A and B are shown apart, each in its own frame.
Chain A
Amino acid sequence: MASYPTRYSALALLRKGATRSDWPRAWRHHDLRSSYDVVIVGGGLHGLATAYYLARNHDITSVAVLEKAYIGGGGSGRNTAIVRSNYLTPEGSAFYDRSVRLYEGLTEDLNFNIMFEQRGHMTLAHSDASLRTMRWRAEVNKLGGIDSEVIDPAGVKELAPAIDVSDRPRYPILGALWHPPGGIVRHDAVVWGYARGADVAGAHIHQVTEVTGIDVADGRVTGVQTSRGAVAAPVVINCTAGWSTLIADMAGVKLPITTRPLQAAVTVPVQPFLVPVIVSGTLHVYVSQTARGELVFGASVDPFSSYSSRGSLGFTEGLAGHVLELMPGISKMRLLRQWAGLCDMTPDFGPIIGPTPVAGFYVDVGWGTYGFKAGPVAGEQVAAMVANGTVPRLIASFGLERFEQGRLTAEKGAAAVGH
């Protein structure tokens, strides 16, 4: 694999600063070729990671990533950047465990500091029922070799002193699932790091290039139509979110997905006071403090289908109420900005990765609220699937055919807010 024209390092920063010379482009502009070996629809984390691993692991470099706007502008830039692997099912936890391991090595692998801070991830239990679910997850995780345990309210207080563990709150904290490897990442950096890595390896990243049609002949995909012209390709991978069903429709593939907004918000920064990522399913909220000092909040998906990426006032009201239940001392912090991202929900909350009835047309979609966490492993596995023509074991349970065979994954059992 080709190497970067300028590797990023502290030394390079000093050299550039001293000579006041410019950095090379992190990724380049290219003319749109009339054909590629692989066309990836969607220039987000999943699409770019797939392009990167196709080149790095499989030497497939005739790859176009087609992005209708700018890279990382969809879910990749709208999520709350939480990474963890303490999933409920053995399949889920094995898959996300691989993702956490990839994230751990990504800064060096991509030569791009993605700022993965493993601050620990804490899921609070406010009832016997949720404590039971936490124990369930901890037991499954332990069997899978994942660092995950149930802690008591004193343990919660020790790790996050701002949390109210008294019996004052409406839903007092009875314990928590504690997952030390979990943490937060600078989400845009992951996108840019993969883009830079894919670019140097030979993939073409085409921004402002919208896919308007998918060509299928005799049950095989033959290429795509775009706002910049037609592109022939024997392999087309749908790596979109929000519009994944519309892209699949272009190939005549129906996906069991409904699209719902998920809202998030960020506060004006304050000095650091919260280290771990805090999640409460009962209160439908998750909170982390970025390195800049902002609190980042997310919630569960909105209860209706929509393609809107605007936030609502009601969301911020409910969010603030719930956050203050957890941390009553921060009522004078101010909400700075709110937004929404689109989540493609499947019937079992599991993703859909794999081939489709149209030969050569693959999907990596249906990521619900988990797409960011899964980006590296999904890219790695999809690349392996396309390169080898077989579905790797790690994603075998996530195929489209499971909805016709009644083999749903069980993550839905993990309750509404899983961050």
Chain B
Amino acid sequence: MSGSRLGVQPGELIDRDRVVRFRWNGAEHHGFAGDTIASALAAGGVEVFSRSFKYRRPRGILTADYHDPNLFVQVGDEPNVRAGHRLLIGGMDVTAQGAWPSLGFDARAANRVVGRFLSPGFYYKTFISPARLRPAYQKILRRFGAGGKIDPTTPPAHAGKRFAHPDVLVAGGGPAGMAAALGASHRGARVMLVEENHHLGGHLLYGGPESEATLAELRALIGADDAIEVLTNAVVTGRYDHNWVGIVVIQGGEEQLVKARAKCLVVAAGKIERPYVFAGNDLPGVMLSSAARRLINLYAVAPGTRAVVATANESGDAALADLERAGVEVAAVADLRKSGSLLVRAKGRGRVAAVELSGGRTIDADLLVTAVGWTTSTSLLNMAGDRPAYDARAARFLPGELPDDVLAAGGVVGDGSIEAIVDHGRVVGFEAGRRALGTRATWQRLTPRAAPAPEVDPEPTVIPRLPAMPHPELFAGPTDGFVDFSEDVKGRDLALAAAEGYDSIELAKRYTTVTMGSIQGKLAGVNAVAVHAAATGATIAATGTTTWRPPYAPITLGALAGVDEDPVRYSPLHDWHMAHGATPIAAGQWIRPDHYGDPAREVRNTRANVGIIDVSPLGKIDLRGRDVPRLLEFVYTNRWDSLAIGGVRYGVMCAEDGVILDDGVTARLEEGRFYMTTTSSGAGRVWNWIDEWLQTAFPTWDVKTTAVTDGYAAMNIAGPRSRELLERVASGVDSSPESFPYMNARIATVAGVAECIVLRIGFTGELSYEVHVPAGYGLHVWEALLAAGSDLGIAPFGLEAQRIMRLEKGHFIVGQDTDGLTKAYTPGLAGLVKIDKPDFSGKPELVWEGEQGAPRRLVAIQPVDGSVVPPEASQIIAGGRTRGRVTSSRMSPTLERSICLAIVDTEHAAAGAELTIRLPDGRDIAATVLEHHAHVDVDGGRVRG
């Protein structure tokens, strides 16, 4: 077969005036605009498109559409492209997949010879010993992997996602779907109509004059209807809870994800023609009746020169008529509806050469067209909870019970004339519109400012019955052939699997991998069930189907990912830091200054003069209402109801299991106004935590929470001269130690900016003030502080200097010096756990730990050799076992020696205890446990001064 383009066909989709040139396996080819890759290649005489997965058999066109298992090709850097669907583009570089060294000769096709030894699951039965050779076997087996090639240097393809809110979403743009869209629109609904092919119409596209007339009319009506949006070349990939529907829109090699919340979903996905299981059923030249009809009518390609048609239905009859009209010689017709008429086998090497029918009659032919029945496309219904039931009379599975917001129309439900299908679709759409408007009315009534709710007809429309017509049960013929073309699974494989004990369809699927390939069992599913049922002696109905899972069709990772990225957060002072020599560091979502050149110098300056650090990423929550003290009493372990206005308290939050969740300080600014700070990384978590309690356990409490992390810039001035600095810039506040003592907060005007919050706290172990200013004034206040402090020796310090100073002071960091089991007693917070409170989060667990004693302790330790800084996570060992670990360690610029915090078993936690630290390089060093956590400012004189 070569040069098989036919004369002009009435419904052809190609534009003969536009020649498109492309390459196939390096050779120049051409087709017309409107051709698929497969139709252009077929017109150019190409018969073999791929080699099969297991036996490396040559494979040709089977369905000539989106679901063809034999037409996966590589296009440039894109693997697994569906050549029966993808339209030709000029310059495309198309190559066959998995054929090595070439499509014509595949060395691995030797597998065919030994095919009988490759029984299902053969790999479970061999390569067992010797074990030392198994990695080599595994490498060889990997060579047989399926699919195209990935080039890891391919630039990422991401398209933005789209959200849609149609009243009615119709999946499938054939006659029923088109009519359903019109019916729904007629009710007043806004409709989205999704069709996987490039044109609306489904089988009307190749159905002859009557179809053409109907299609033209439906298209005209849809085109004129502003309430209907049509997405072609788009696939509904999944129906999730509450009609959350994923749709992938394919544009060449690019895909976009559309996410639709459909008030009502109409599934008009039609039927998928089923292959027949017989010997030679995978030879190139054996194809389904719908494939032959597509090739002839849509692409004007003769599928062969001399055909045998095996038909059991009107689709086969129509294909026969198409072939005759196209001038293909029909050598024989086997009418499988007649008893005794059989399709026995297709013969040929590398392609079909002859067909054996009943009675040993063998006919030479290069084309065998089969029409043996249909599989209902129930995938989306299945995702909506339906379990389709088998109807033996119709020889297919049919939908069962559907939820109210999902309807099925047309061929999914039954059979009928074009008129009957259109009528069914129209009425289903009309009813879908009614249900959708009912939902819209309900939503709009709940939304005060929405448009007035639509009028909704309370009476459901009666949907006409669309009975499924009788069809002979034709799944497998008298000889054995392929059930699953993607996975190279034959009928005998399923029978062998059942005999070996894999006798439930789910086990058979996993053992033989039937239906697990790239087309997800759309062609193989029902044949597999039928063959399996025959092997086990069960009925098809009792065997049932395996579960259809989303996505309905594979979707690229690029489309799923879209352009969403985790946000990067910057302080309002970020540009200043970068302009002043800061080295940035990623800290969770934030980018922060790690240091400005020399962290040790920053520490020494802060301890001697005054330093300033940007702490804007601190989590900040504005809490207002009468019941805030009750909330604080509940989420923190310590007491809050006695906190006076102007007071600040440090608190630790524990989860229900008593494990430390976060810590921070909270200030009472006014009677019913509190200001909470959290760790930077815990900001979101704490806000969620508080709101979860308020919404679930304490909905009647008068507490309003507002996350204001980004609303305030925050800067900490620390060091012995920080008070002097504050006095210079702040007004409306008396900074003297008597009237503004440690752990107090004031509202002040700072550098002319009113309503700043000043907290006197001391994470660094110095006299320090944390100034929170409205974010827009952050830079102004920061620069004012620097200017005012220039003669005081002010210098900025970064995260690293802060980490050193807090370690010198012995303050722990949640998540670094605590872990997933650290309860409040471990870091020595007994004084902050008020178990006499009626209740608080984590109380029962803490009461318990208080009684039993914490099994581990956080302690400050110092290596005996102060020049060695044991890396964080170094293990503390005794008797060859781990007894704890170093959680934080630094060289202290203040003490000029190494200092650490560590979590150790309580028996090793006593002050003065000698510990052995195993360094990652294997050396052991000695260290001593200190009495207090603090290495510097042990008596607290500096922070309280």
- Interface residue ranges, A against B (CB under 8 Å): 8-10, 12-14, 16-18, 20, 22-28, 69-73, 77, 90, 104-105, 107-108, 111-115, 117-118, 127-129, 132-133, 135-136, 138-140, 143, 150, 161-162, 170-172, 186, 188-189, 192-193, 207, 267-273, 291-293, 310-313, 316-317, 319-321, 323-324, 327-339, 347-349, 406-408, 410-415
With A113-B125, A115-B123, A162-B152 in contact, do A140 and B554 touch (Cβ < 8 Å)?
Answer: no
Q: Does B568 contact A (CB under 8 A)?
A: yes
For B126, give its contact among A13, A26, A71, A339 (CB under 8 Å). A13
CA distance A118 to B132 in the complex (A): 12
CA distance A172 to B566 in the complex (A): 13
CA distance A67 to B549 in the complex (A): 23
For B5-18 the 0/1 string (1 means CB < 8 A from A) is: 00000000000000
B768-825 contacts to A (CB < 8 Å): 815-816, 819-821
CA distance A116 to B568 in the complex (A): 40
Q: Does B158 contact A (CB under 8 A)?
A: yes
CA distance A414 to B821 in the complex (A): 10
Shortest Cβ gap from B842 to chain A (Å): 12
With A70-B504, A324-B156, A334-B80 in contact, do A271 and B561 touch (Cβ < 8 Å)?
Answer: no
Which stretch (B83-91, B363-371, B742-750, B872-880) binds chain A? B872-880
With A113-B126, A192-B124 in contact, do A270 and B149 touch (Cβ < 8 Å)?
Answer: yes
CB-CB under 8 A from A332, the residues of chain B are 77-79, 150, 154, 157, 253, 556-558
Contact between A23 and B821, CB atoms less than 8 A apart: no
Contact between B561 and A339, CB atoms less than 8 A apart: no
* New A-B pairs, 8, CB < 8 Å, besides A8-B125, A135-B873, A331-B156: A13-B119, A23-B496, A69-B504, A270-B148, A271-B148, A324-B557, A329-B151, A335-B551
Contact between A8 and B128, CB atoms less than 8 A apart: yes
CB-CB under 8 A from B257, the residues of chain A are 317
With A20-B116, A108-B131 in contact, do A170 and B820 touch (Cβ < 8 Å)?
Answer: no
With A270-B149, A331-B561 in contact, do A70 and B507 touch (Cβ < 8 Å)?
Answer: yes
CA distance A170 to B586 in the complex (A): 9
For B841-856 the 0/1 string (1 means CB < 8 A from A) is: 0000100110010010
Contact between B501 and A27, CB atoms less than 8 A apart: yes
CB-CB under 8 A from B124, the residues of chain A are 8, 112-115, 186, 189, 192-193
Contact between B125 and A13, CB atoms less than 8 A apart: yes
Contact between A317 and B815, CB atoms less than 8 A apart: no
CB-CB under 8 A from A414, the residues of chain B are 820
With A334-B555, A335-B560 in contact, do A268 and B147 touch (Cβ < 8 Å)?
Answer: yes
Closest to B153 in A: A329
Shortest Cβ gap from A88 to chain B (Å): 9
Which stretch (B202-210, B238-246, B608-616) binds chain A? B238-246
CB-CB under 8 A from B885, the residues of chain A are 136, 139
Contact between B123 and A333, CB atoms less than 8 A apart: no
CB-CB under 8 A from B588, the residues of chain A are 127
Shortest Cβ gap from B693 to chain A (Å): 16
Contact between B145 and A139, CB atoms less than 8 A apart: no
CB-CB under 8 A from A271, the residues of chain B are 145, 147-150
Contact between B499 and A292, CB atoms less than 8 A apart: no
Closest to B566 in A: A170
Q: Does B165 contact A (CB under 8 A)?
A: no
- Interface residue ranges, B against A (CB under 8 Å): 77-80, 114, 116-117, 119, 122-129, 131, 134-135, 138, 141-143, 145-158, 161, 238, 240-241, 244, 246, 253, 257, 259, 383, 496, 499-502, 504, 506-507, 510-511, 518, 520, 549-551, 554-562, 564-566, 568, 585-588, 657, 659, 815-816, 819-821, 845, 848-849, 852, 855, 871-875, 877, 880-882, 885, 918, 920
Contact between B500 and A139, CB atoms less than 8 A apart: no
Shortest Cβ gap from A324 to chain B (Å): 5
Contact between A25 and B500, CB atoms less than 8 A apart: yes
CB-CB under 8 A from B561, the residues of chain A are 317, 320-321, 323-324, 331
Closest to A133 in B: B873
Shortest Cβ gap from A109 to chain B (Å): 10
For B150, give its contact among A14, A135, A329 (CB under 8 Å). A329
Contact between B156 and A328, CB atoms less than 8 A apart: yes
Shortest 9 CB-CB contacts between residues of A and residues of B: A331-B558, A293-B145, A334-B554, A320-B560, A412-B820, A17-B117, A413-B819, A8-B125, A329-B152
Closest to A110 in B: B128
Contact between B511 and A188, CB atoms less than 8 A apart: yes
Contact between A333 and B556, CB atoms less than 8 A apart: yes
Shortest Cβ gap from B798 to chain A (Å): 14
A-B contact pairs, 12 of them (CB 8 A): A113-B125, A170-B568, A269-B518, A271-B147, A272-B143, A310-B383, A331-B558, A334-B80, A335-B560, A348-B820, A349-B820, A410-B819
CB-CB under 8 A from A172, the residues of chain B are 586
Contact between B555 and A108, CB atoms less than 8 A apart: no
Shortest Cβ gap from B256 to chain A (Å): 13
CB-CB under 8 A from B560, the residues of chain A are 316-317, 319-321, 335
Shortest Cβ gap from A227 to chain B (Å): 16
CB-CB under 8 A from B518, the residues of chain A are 268-269, 336
Contact between B819 and A135, CB atoms less than 8 A apart: no
Contact between B499 and A139, CB atoms less than 8 A apart: no
CB-CB under 8 A from A171, the residues of chain B are 566, 586
Interface centre among A189, A293, A320, A331 (most CB of B within 10 A): A331
Contact between B128 and A108, CB atoms less than 8 A apart: yes
CA distance A14 to B117 in the complex (A): 6
For B119, give its contact among A16, A73, A139, A413 (CB under 8 Å). A16
CA distance A72 to B559 in the complex (A): 33
Contact between A111 and B78, CB atoms less than 8 A apart: no
CB-CB under 8 A from A138, the residues of chain B are 873, 920
Contact between B80 and A311, CB atoms less than 8 A apart: no
CA distance A324 to B241 in the complex (A): 26
CA distance A117 to B657 in the complex (A): 39
Shortest Cβ gap from B137 to chain A (Å): 9
CA distance A192 to B138 in the complex (A): 20
Contact between A273 and B557, CB atoms less than 8 A apart: no
Closest to B154 in A: A329
Interface centre among B146, B496, B499, B561 (most CB of A within 10 A): B561
Contact between B126 and A107, CB atoms less than 8 A apart: no
Shortest Cβ gap from A302 to chain B (Å): 13
Contact between A170 and B145, CB atoms less than 8 A apart: no
CB-CB under 8 A from A336, the residues of chain B are 518, 520, 551, 554
Shortest Cβ gap from B404 to chain A (Å): 19
Contact between B499 and A23, CB atoms less than 8 A apart: yes
With A330-B557, A331-B558, A339-B549 in contact, do A22 and B499 touch (Cβ < 8 Å)?
Answer: yes
Shortest Cβ gap from A1 to chain B (Å): 18
Shortest Cβ gap from B258 to chain A (Å): 11
For B815, give its contact among A129, A192, A313 (CB under 8 Å). A129
CB-CB under 8 A from A313, the residues of chain B are 238, 240, 244, 246, 259, 550
Contact between A12 and B123, CB atoms less than 8 A apart: no
Shortest Cβ gap from A101 to chain B (Å): 13
Contact between A268 and B554, CB atoms less than 8 A apart: yes
For A347, give its contact among B147, B151, B657 (CB under 8 Å). B657
CA distance A13 to B123 in the complex (A): 10
CB-CB under 8 A from B122, the residues of chain A are 13
Contact between B152 and A273, CB atoms less than 8 A apart: yes
Contact between A410 and B820, CB atoms less than 8 A apart: yes
For B821, give its contact among A72, A115, A268, A412 (CB under 8 Å). A412
CB-CB under 8 A from A71, the residues of chain B are 507
CB-CB under 8 A from B152, the residues of chain A are 161-162, 273, 327, 329-330
CA distance A23 to B501 in the complex (A): 10
CB-CB under 8 A from A193, the residues of chain B are 124
Contact between B126 and A8, CB atoms less than 8 A apart: yes
Contact between B116 and A139, CB atoms less than 8 A apart: no
CB-CB under 8 A from A114, the residues of chain B are 124
Closest to B877 in A: A143
CA distance A348 to B496 in the complex (A): 45
For B127, give its contact among A22, A113, A136 (CB under 8 Å). A113
Contact between A272 and B142, CB atoms less than 8 A apart: yes
